[in-house]
Structure 1
Amino acid sequence: MKRYRRVIVIVILVAAALLVWALFFRKKPQPVQLDTEQPTVGYIATSITATGTVQPVDTVAVGTQVSGTAAKIYADFNSQVKAGQVLLELDKSLFQAQVNQYKANLANAQSNVVFQQSNFSRQEQLYKVGAISRADYDNAVYAINAAKASVESVKAQLQSAEKNLSFATIYSPIDGVVLSRNISVGQTVAASFSTPTLFIIAKDISKMQVQANVDEADIGNVQKDQRVSFTVDAFLDDVFNGAVQEIRLKPQVSANVVTYTTIINASNNDKKLKPGMTANVTIYTQEEDSALLISVKALKFTPDESVAKEYKIIPADTAHKRHKGDVGHKRAPSVFDTSGTKHKDSTVVQQAETAYVWVLKDKTLTEKRIRTGLNDDTHVQVLRGLDKGDVVVDGIQIPQATGAATPAAKSPFMPARRGGGGRPR
């Protein structure tokens, strides 16, 4: 009997302990809380990135057509020059001596013409009276003609020498800024086989261009006049704007990577951009200013068993149901366009995809099929299937030990959404 009494006492104590735990110590189950959002109207864009080099729009290489030694230099790096301004003078002594020589030769030839003209007159009078033969007369004609031809030849040589003398003075062909000076006083330049470059002048540095190297996988989305923004390492807080001007067809191959040079025009009124700077370029291939947006994580939400215990789950039409875990798949436009009308914007139609989201109303979760457009990996454009007033579920809150709910952790690497609804300027 004592053994039975001990067992009964133990059972009673255990039951009392369980009752006390259940009444005072057991934590009550926290209700499931859902993270929700409403579609908003705002800006969204798809873009590609590339790197490039800042260059002046137009540069001129100034050289020399004659060889010589630099005697005087009138321009240096960063000099502002005007068209016709003297940049450099070569030593002119040899050129001037050659000009003087041809001037003397010309005077000699002209003197010879005077002599031969006088001789021809005498020979012509003697020939008319029969005092000399025809051969003597012809010799006189030949001599006067040769003297005149010699004058013309020396004149041409003198003109060439004077032109070479003028080439010894180098002038600026345009208004601009000197970017490079490759000559010093006393240095000899030789122009025998190729023209040496003495100066490089930028025509207008208030307008610059970026030569960006766009990967072959992205070049198909790049078109002329698309908006571009870029930064340079010297001014990390400044964003410079431009537009695509040209896509050059010649490919550049480096380490088996094919890129295409894309020319981007940019304003440089504040003169911050300098030639040779490395630019980190973003080309906006598609933009929408007033798009209906939801977060990308709303497409990935799927209710689990804990949600099903507290909410009524209404799945989408099983005839168009996606596979479990599949966020979305491409469909032909005709599947979703019940109106039978054609869309004018073919790019939006080609990028349209089918996705599914869960809409909350009271205690009911309804799965809706939507048609999405642009996707920047943070937000997605909704083309059809949602209204501004719909409440879309994008996650489940995780209850803490104290009973307070904390939203799911957000990755610090996710880009922040731009403020406002318009495109950035």
Structure 2
Amino acid sequence: MKVQQIKRLWPFAAAILIVAGGAFWWMAGSVRAPRYVTAQVGRGSVVRSVTATGTVNPVIVVQVGTYDSGPIIGIYADFNSPVKAGQLIAKIDPRPFTVKVHEAQAALGNSQSQLAKDQADRAYKKLLFDRDSKLMAENIISQDTLDNARSSYQQAASQVALDGSMVKQQKANLEEAQVNLDYTNIISPVDGTVVSRNVDVGQTVAASFQTPTLFLIAKDLTQMQVDTNVSESDIGDLRDGQIADFGVDAFPDRVFEGTVGQVRQVPISIQNVTTYDVVVNVPNPEFLLKPGMTANVTIISARRDNVLRIPIQAIQFSPTFAKGKSANPLTAREKQVWIADGSAIKPVSIVTGLDDGHYVEVMSGGLKQGDLVVTAELRSGDTSPTASLAGSSSPLRLAH
């Protein structure tokens, strides 16, 4: 009876053993067969760039101050006013300086009158000296009388020379007073636009120790510049003439284009962080850019178009079974990448060029367009989409 029961249960036991063996085989195969993420080798652009923040400024800003001190009696230009070179934009009370001019004119007139008087005296004493010289030749007067006449004439001539110098000094004083009077007219030194006005009518300006700034005039707002702070780690890649793109918060959907005009040599150190001022020149024909705007700048330091490229993860990848067997240094030009070869993967040596942090240029080696390079190995439990190679005779499976 027991033998018959065993015979009836045998098919069920055999089925259970077959299912268990198949599950074991499948699980063992899954553990043994690693899966890989791949990317296709293609052509495109590799663009290396440097990012920085900066401030939009006019190319040339002229500070208009004053040489004179006194109350402002007139303002003839305001914010955003277009001005021409030589245009009157403000005026200081000229009365104290007018008085100085009149005093200098009077002093000059006095000196000129004194000069005329002493010139007449010199002429008279020369006449006396000439006459005494003739009398002395006839022994009519003494030598002492002639010497006295000569001395008087020479003193008169010296006095005339002194008066001439005094006249020149008074002329200089008059010119100085006139210049100070003219400085009460505050004029624009350039053609441009007033971007700042710091005084009002009735305000007294003092120029005794430091020239106060009354106006800021931007020479040409159709040409602006962005002064950026570039880290010292990135400054070595930047050169004059490189292309730069930037955006400002006022126009979030607008990208402005410019070129690097200057890479300045003076370091800027703030809290032990060193940066350099890189000036980006940008046209502003629509006057959209305003002085002081904050710009987020991207400077293209190198670019390769239509080149064979692979993701940068491909040169960083090394399969688990190959760990420690081959070196793949990121600093060398020669790299080793892994590509799909049927149902397996194999290493290929390449020579790389430019990289931008996302893609690497392939200059030469065993890669061609359309190849599949391995970029990562999927671990157990990864949920990335997988696909087995058709007709695979190897336990390796690739995911892409």
**TM-score (normalised: structure 2):** 0.76
Partner of 2:231: 215
> Within 5 A, what are the aligned runs for 1:294-313?
294-299=310-315
> Within 5 A, what are the aligned runs for 1:370-389?
370-384=350-364, 385-389=366-370
Partner of 1:329: 329
> Within 5 A, what are the aligned runs for 1:166-315?
166-299=182-315
Partner Cα separation in structure 1 for residue 299 and residue 386 of structure 2? 35
Deviation at 1:125, TM superposition (A): 4.0
1:202 partner letter = A
> Could you list the runs of 5+ residues in structure 2 that have no partner in the other structure?
133-140, 388-400
Partner Cα separation in structure 2 for residue 387 and residue 89 of structure 1? 76
Partner Cα separation in structure 2 for residue 245 and residue 36 of structure 1? 42
> Within 5 A, what are the aligned runs for 1:12-411?
37-130=39-132, 134=149, 136-138=152-154, 140-299=156-315, 323=324, 328-329=328-329, 352-361=333-342, 363=343, 365-384=345-364, 385-392=366-373, 406=385
Deviation at 1:102, TM superposition (A): 1.7
Identify the structure with bigger relative contact order (alpha carbons < 8 Å, sequence gap 6+): 2
The question of whether the paired residues in 2 share the 8 Å contact of 1:351 and 1:373 is answered with: no
CA deviation map 1:222-261 (0-9, x unaligned): 2232222222222222222222232222222212212222
The question of whether the paired residues in 1 share the 8 Å contact of 2:338 and 2:345 is answered with: no
Partner Cα separation in structure 2 for residue 182 and residue 107 of structure 1? 41
Partner Cα separation in structure 1 for residue 130 and residue 372 of structure 2? 124
Describe the SS at the equivalent of 2:169: helix
Partner Cα separation in structure 2 for residue 276 and residue 353 of structure 1? 47
The question of whether the paired residues in 1 share the 8 Å contact of 2:337 and 2:374 is answered with: no
2:209 partner letter = F
Number of positions where the alignment pairs a residue of Structure 1 with one of Structure 2: 365
The question of whether the paired residues in 2 share the 8 Å contact of 1:54 and 1:278 is answered with: yes
The question of whether the paired residues in 2 share the 8 Å contact of 1:232 and 1:277 is answered with: yes
> Could you list the runs of 5+ residues in structure 1 that have no partner in the other structure?
306-320, 331-349, 409-425
**TM-score (normalised: structure 1):** 0.72
Describe the SS at the equivalent of 2:47: strand
Describe the SS at the equivalent of 1:329: coil
The question of whether the paired residues in 1 share the 8 Å contact of 2:35 and 2:386 is answered with: no
Partner Cα separation in structure 2 for residue 202 and residue 258 of structure 1? 30
1:266 partner letter = V
CA RMSD of aligned residues (A): 3.9
The question of whether the paired residues in 2 share the 8 Å contact of 1:397 and 1:407 is answered with: no
Give percent identity, aligned residues only: 39
The question of whether the paired residues in 2 share the 8 Å contact of 1:396 and 1:407 is answered with: no
CA deviation map 1:307-332 (0-9, x unaligned): xxxxxxxxxxxxxx873697x325xx
